[in-house]
């Protein structure tokens, strides 16, 4: 079950990511990113993080990506054109990304034994549900960071309003 979920949704995520890279039109890229995020939500669920799976769908696919699609529609962004800058980026981009991938996967695969196996659902420390566990830690030990993020969001909202306002 775990293996089947991993293969199906891992493949879907990789396909979505590659499609993001290959598509010329931003709206197609945005939709492939939505596919990546939805399959990641399933993978989170299979790793025992139900709350994050739901949050991934609601926050990422349901709010942030809708905002992307909305802005693309609003600005009527067309297909991107190739320029001299993009040719330089091709020369640097692909080898660089390939190098990062090689290093990372070499490290992960050589430490494969030490990393261990996963099992569906997963057991965390206590028998509590995932949501109860997250909220207990979030509202006791990590209360200050939590409050600071709320201030951060407030600042971001104000900044967005100021930046996007039309000049009088």
Partner 1 sequence: MSHLSPFQTFLLLSILKIVVVLVITLTAVAYTVLLERKVLGRMQNRWGPSRVGPFGLLQPLADGIKLFLKEDLMPMAAQRPLFIIAPIIALACSLISIAVVPFGAVQRVKGVDIFNVADLNIGLLVILGITSIGVYGIALSGWSSNNKFALLGSLRATSQMISYELALGLSLVGVVLRAQSLSLRDIVNSQAAHGALSWNIFGGFQFVAFFIYLMAAYAETNRSPFDLPEAESELVAGYHTEYSSMKFAMFFMAEYANMITVSCVATLLFFGGPSSPFGHLIPDFGGPIVQAILPIGWFVLKVLAFLLLYIWVRGTLPRFRYDQLMSFGWKVLLPIAMVNIIVTSLILALRG
Partner 2 sequence: MSAEVPVAYYLVLAAILFSVGVAAFLIKRNVITIFMSIELMLNAVNLTFVAFSHMWHQIQGQIFVFFVMVVAAAEAAVGFAIIIAIFRTRQTLNVDQINLMKS
Q: Which residue from 35, 42, 57, 134 is in contact with partner 2, where contact means CB under 8 A? A: 134
Nearest approach, Cβ of residue 168 and partner 2 (Å): 14
Q: Tell me the per-residue interface mask from 54 to 73 with partner 2, x by CB under 8 A, - otherwise.
A: -xx--xx--xx--xx--xx-
- Using CB under 8 A as the binding rule, whether residue 50 contacts partner 1 is answered as yes
Nearest to 59 by CA among 161, 163, 155, 149: 149
Dihedral over alpha carbons 68, 74, 79, 80 (to 10 degrees): -70
The answer to whether residues 67 and 147 touch, using CB atoms and an 8 Å cutoff, is no
Confirm or reject binding of residue 62 to partner 1 (CB under 8 A): yes
Q: Does 137 contact partner 1 by CB under 8 A? A: no
The span of 6-14, 68-76, 92-100, 138-146 binding partner 1 (CB under 8 A) equals: 68-76
Question: Residues 36-56, buried b or exposed e (16+ Cβ, 10 A)?
Answer: bbbbbbbbbbbbbbbbbbeeb
Tokens of 134: 């997250």
Tell me: does residue 34 bind partner 1 (CB under 8 A): yes
Residue 165 tokens, joined = 């306002």
- Please list every residue from 85 through 104 that binds partner 2, using CB under 8 A: 85-86, 89-90, 92-94, 96-98, 100-101, 104
CB of residue 164 vs partner 1: minimum separation in angstroms? Answer: 14
Q: Which residues are within 8 A (CB) of 1 and not within 5 positions of it... i.e. 6 or more apart?
A: 120
Write out the residues near partner 1 by the rule CB under 8 A: 27, 31, 34, 38, 50-51, 53-55, 57-58, 61-63, 66-67, 69-70, 73-74, 129-131
């Amino acid at each position: 079950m775990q293996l089947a979920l991993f293969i199906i949704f891992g493949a879907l995520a990789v396909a979505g990511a590659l499609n993001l890279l290959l598509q010329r039109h931003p709206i197609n890229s945005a939709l492939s990113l939505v596919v990546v995020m939805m399959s990641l939500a399933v993978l989170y669920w299979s790793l025992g993080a139900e709350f994050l799976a739901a949050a991934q769908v609601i926050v990422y696919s349901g709010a942030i990506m809708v905002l992307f699609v909305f802005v693309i529609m609003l600005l009527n962004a067309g297909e991107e054109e190739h320029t001299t800058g993009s040719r330089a980026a091709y020369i640097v981009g692909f080898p660089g990304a390939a190098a990062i991938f090689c290093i990372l996967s070499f490290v992960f695969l050589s430490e494969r034994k030490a990393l261990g196996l996963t099992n569906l659902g997963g057991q965390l420390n206590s028998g509590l549900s995932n949501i109860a566990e997250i909220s207990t830690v979030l509202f006791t030990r990590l209360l200050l960071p939590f409050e600071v993020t709320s201030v951060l969001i407030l600042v971001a909202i104000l900044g967005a309003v100021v930046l996007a306002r039309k000049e009088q």
